[in-house]
Amino acid sequence: MTLPTLALFTGDPAGIGPELVEKMLQNPAWRSQARVILIGQKGAIQVPPEVVWQDWSGAHSPAFERGVARADNGRYMIEGLATGVDLVMSGQADAFCFAPLNKSALRQGGMSQEDELRWFAEHMAYTGVCGELNVLKNLWTARVTSHVPLSEVSSLLSADKVADAIRMIYQALQASGVVSPRIAVCGLNPHNGDNGNYGDEEGRIITPGVQKAADMGFAADGPFPADTAFVRAIRASGGYDGVVTMYHDQGQIAMKLMGFEQGVTVHGGLPCPITTPAHGTAYDIAGQGVANPQAMCNAFDLAARMASSRRQPLSPQKETLS
């Protein structure tokens, strides 16, 4: 089988991204997963000779000050993201994987969107449903609302959005090799609303959304009380492949408690596979050589598997991250 080609970006040059990529590429395991087109500063890291350096505007950038969010590294990151996405959209690569970014630097560098996901969608002129998915080993999460104030969550929920989140995580799981995904859906309120005593969003919005997704062919269970949904998901028997949450921290707290240095973020729903570690740029340890590359390796592995699935039918064998 021909290996997929991944565009790989070293991320924020002021953070731990470059050293994570260097450590990952020092492990020969990646060679059996994909070919690599590397987007980064030439000479800033040492990589194996079979890695192909991309010629781009930031390839010969001067050194950046470590641990500082500034406009210059923000502009560098935006150019790197554009280069990676364009490689995939032009057919030169099959998927895009990038090291952690710093949102403050991105904004100083000119990114006006709420996050890089919305920037990706605008850059690709994509107007369909998209959202962040988080992955920890074989458990995925999606959320109906994302980077918004908690006070606005209830007003932003709708049955259509719940159904869209279910469909998005279902299709992404299939793209990663899970043929028949099992999805659990969280409620919003304490004790799942307790039959309307603590809120009615479960019956008024979430349950109709679950039914709407089922009618489209994307079955899911729930809503379940949010404080037990992840317990159900990780049970050895009768567990779930994915959990749909209603807001950011409802899922992120659980996922990061279970494996902060292992998680992966997938930019779901977009026309091409895009992955990144779920943690940040760790300015406090940048350049010290102590950063754990496991999430970077997991993001690369998942991007390679999703890229491969674009070329061939789904395998009946369920895959998991290392």
* 288 C-beta neighbours (distance < 10 Å), count: 11
- Give the chain's residues under pLDDT 50: 313-322
- CATH dotted code for 138-261: 3.40.718.10
- Can you name the residues that pair with 277 across neighbouring β-strands? 264
User: Closest by alpha carbon to 36, among 320, 304, 271?
Assistant: 304
Q: How high is the pLDDT of residue 65? A: 94
Write down the domain spans for the chain. Answer: 1-127+264-322, 138-261
pLDDT computed for residue 236 by the predictor: 63
pLDDT of residue 319: 34
**Could you give the CA distance from residue 119 to residue 116 in angstroms, rounded to a whole number?**
5
Question: Tell me, what's the pLDDT at 311?
Answer: 57
CB 206 within 8 A of CB 242: no
Return the pLDDT at 176.
Answer: 86
Measured over the CA atoms of residue 1, residue 270, residue 251 and residue 206, the dihedral's sign is: negative
| CATH number given to 1-127+264-322 | 3.40.718.10
- What's the number of CA atoms in the CB half-sphere (13 Å) around residue 69? 16
pTM of the model: 0.87
Q: What is the pLDDT of residues 124-160, one digit of tens each?
A: 999 998 999 999 988 999 999 998 999 999 999 999 9
Per-residue model confidence (pLDDT) at position 163: 98
Tell me the per-residue pLDDT of 251-300, one tens digit each, with 9 for 90 and over.
999 998 988 778 999 999 999 999 999 999 999 999 999 999 999 999 99
Domains 1-127+264-322 and 138-261 share a fold: yes
